[in-house]
């Protein structure tokens, strides 16, 4: 498992290599990249992400661990950026490796839904307004509740 919260750009190739290279049991590796987009139409100001370091890394580890357990993943990675990010920059990358593609897709999807609703990140638009949680994100997460 690989977990990282960083202000640096995300190196997807090195993450895929880290969790997939040299393995003979991986049949699928699904990666997802989230990008910074306009929060409100026409607002192209940067997005600022804040977090509590220890709490955030612990939650990301919990998210990846649960995905590994629930979807029989062989390995997983979550990399999330913090700091000031411009429109079009990568903000998050998740990867799920498994024997079969459906488990990898489900694991990556679960990690993203979990991140959007449960990870302790706070987003602020360049105009100083905090970005509020969306009902659609919460609805997407509910499909994973047991």
Q: What is the pLDDT of residue 49?
A: 87
Strand-strand pairing, 75-81 and 90-98:
antiparallel
Q: pLDDT tens, 15-73?
A: 999 998 888 999 999 999 999 987 667 666 788 888 988 899 999 999 999 999 999 99
**DSSP of 70-125, one letter per residue?**
HHT-SEEEEEEE-EEE-TTSEEEEEEEEESSHHHHHHHHHHHHHHHHHHS-EEEEE
Check pLDDT > 80 for residue 146: no
Check pLDDT > 90 for residue 111: yes
Q: How far apart are CA 95 and CA 119, in angstroms?
A: 17
Q: What is the pLDDT of residue 43?
A: 67
- pLDDT confidence bin for 76, thresholds 50/70/90: very high
The pair of three-digit structure tokens given for residue 29, joined into one six-digit string: 């590796």
Q: How far apart are CA 106 and CA 34, in angstroms?
A: 16
Q: CB atoms < 10 A from the CB of 82, how many?
A: 19
Q: How far apart are CA 108 and CA 144, in angstroms?
A: 12
What pTM was computed for the model? Answer: 0.91
Q: What is the pLDDT of residue 60?
A: 96
What's the total number of domains in the chain?
1
Q: CB atoms < 10 A from the CB of 39, how many?
A: 18
* Domain span holding position 48: 2-142
Q: What are phi and psi of 107, to 5 degrees?
A: -65, -45
CATH code, 58 = 3.90.1170.40
């Amino acid at each position: 498992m690989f977990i990282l919260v960083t202000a640096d750009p995300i190196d997807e190739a090195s993450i895929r290599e880290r969790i997939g290279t040299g393995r003979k049991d991986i049949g699928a590796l699904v990666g997802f990249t989230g990008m910074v987009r306009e929060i409100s139409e026409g607002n192209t100001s940067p997005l600022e992400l804040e977090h509590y370091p220890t709490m955030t890394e612990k939650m990301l580890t919990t998210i990846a661990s649960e995905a590994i357990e629930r979807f029989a993943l062989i390995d997983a990675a979550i990399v999330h950026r913090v700091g000031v990010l411009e429109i079009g920059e990568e903000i998050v990358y998740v990867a799920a490796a498994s024997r079969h593609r459906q488990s990898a897709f489900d694991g990556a999807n679960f990690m993203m839904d979990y991140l959007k609703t449960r990870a302790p990140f706070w987003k602020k638009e360049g105009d100083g307004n905090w970005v509020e949680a969306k009902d659609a994100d919460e609805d997407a997460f509910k499909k994973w509740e047991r």
